[in-house]
Structure 1
């Protein structure tokens, strides 16, 4: 009696080249949209210098968000150095990261406009809470990606250091909590506190992009 073998689907796993190219395009568009938020301010004759200084929140917002996207790009590059193939679940996790990255320009503009009006205004507090919320979700998107990689190690290079995924999860969760704290402090105490944390956090993740201090010998992992 002959047995009918179920055909194996060979097209559910793919190489990473197209995903990397698409992701790099999203990152490029994200930083381009950020810089479009910087515009020559309206001013009276002889008041250009004052008008330029008065839109300082736009400069701070651009710096914080550009730094964040830069760190995300670095993290993404480090991840795909280790990833050898993609399946549908990993594509979905990657899209989640790109979704949050592309949306970053919106709260950046909201924060700049609100702080330009009044740094102690209720709207400014809401604006920094909005930014912190999206930044936290972005960190959680990386947590999802690392969790998926941990569940599917066959998608990564066999020689990937064993600390990569655990450290990635830890730093992603720490980032989500840090941005949540920044949003809470900014909305309850002062928006300037949140703004300072928004600037410091990307710098911290850039400096520690080669891994956590305890695992430096086998480092190389990054996270948002």
Structure 2
């Protein structure tokens, strides 16, 4: 539904929103590396100390890749927007807010895995899942807003695009909830597997759900002939 605003002063092009967002993403990625520290070990044990910090390296790589995927999705979305308004700015702020939280649960998971305490690992995985679900929920609000505001979009953008994007966000919310429950109730490593798979899904579909390679192939497949 188009709901153009009467207050033209609230409208602007997207250049400031994207520039600000890119700066935030750059800061978030920089903060992730701060959790990698020189190991506190006696002389002669530097190699073993570095190797023992492997959970920190894995957590860094996973969260770095996730922020990169968020940036790709953010760029893809704004490439379809011709104007920003106050509402779009606020839903964009919500995406940036939840993305900026990622360094914290990343550090929590890294520390818990290095301490080898099963209960702490369960809590850490559930906490990361909570932040991931909140991030996907912020994307859901973002996509829902644009799905209802065709007047902000470029004319060539398909009417199906942002309604379909809401499905992607809902998949993320659901799978993060599942990952948190599995990680807390069953096995932390099982939840971590879902954390690795989800950024891959969002990377593959960063151009849009119905524009993903598999979806395009299905759409181009000719209908089966009748018997």
**TM-score under structure 1 length normalisation:** 0.89
CA-to-aligned-CA distance 1:160-209 (integer Å, 9 cap, x gap): 02221122100110011111111111111111111222122112221232
**Structure 2, unaligned runs of 5 or more:** 1-5, 220-227
**TM-score under structure 2 length normalisation:** 0.88
Match of 2:50 among 33, 47, 52: 52
Q: Is the 8 A contact 1:163 1:215 kept in 2?
A: no
**1:36 matched to which residue of 2?**
34
The Cα of 1:216 is off from its aligned counterpart by 2.2
Provide the rounded CA distance (Å) in 2 between the counterparts of 1:20 and 1:103: 19
Provide the rounded CA distance (Å) in 2 between the counterparts of 1:98 and 1:117: 31
Matched, 1:122 2:99: no
The aligned runs of 1:76-155 (5 Å cut-off) are 76-118=74-116, 121-155=118-152
Q: Is the 8 A contact 2:125 2:184 kept in 1?
A: yes
What secondary structure sits across from 2:189 in the alignment?
A: helix
Matched, 1:179 2:188: no
Q: Is the 8 A contact 1:63 1:199 kept in 2?
A: no
**1:3 matched to which residue of 2?**
none
The Cα of 1:143 is off from its aligned counterpart by 0.5
Provide the rounded CA distance (Å) in 1 between the counterparts of 2:196 and 2:37: 21
**1:69 matched to which residue of 2?**
67
**1:222 matched to which residue of 2?**
none
**1:188 matched to which residue of 2?**
185
Q: Is the 8 A contact 2:76 2:207 kept in 1?
A: no
Q: Is the 8 A contact 1:210 1:216 kept in 2?
A: no
Provide the rounded CA distance (Å) in 1 between the counterparts of 2:89 and 2:205: 26
Q: Is the 8 A contact 1:135 1:176 kept in 2?
A: yes
The Cα of 1:112 is off from its aligned counterpart by 0.6
The Cα of 1:9 is off from its aligned counterpart by 3.4
**2:225 matched to which residue of 1?**
none
CA-to-aligned-CA distance 1:52-107 (integer Å, 9 cap, x gap): 11111111111111111111000000011001111111100000000001111011
User: What is the root-mean-square deviation in Å for CA atoms of aligned residues?
Assistant: 1.7
Q: Is the 8 A contact 1:132 1:183 kept in 2?
A: yes
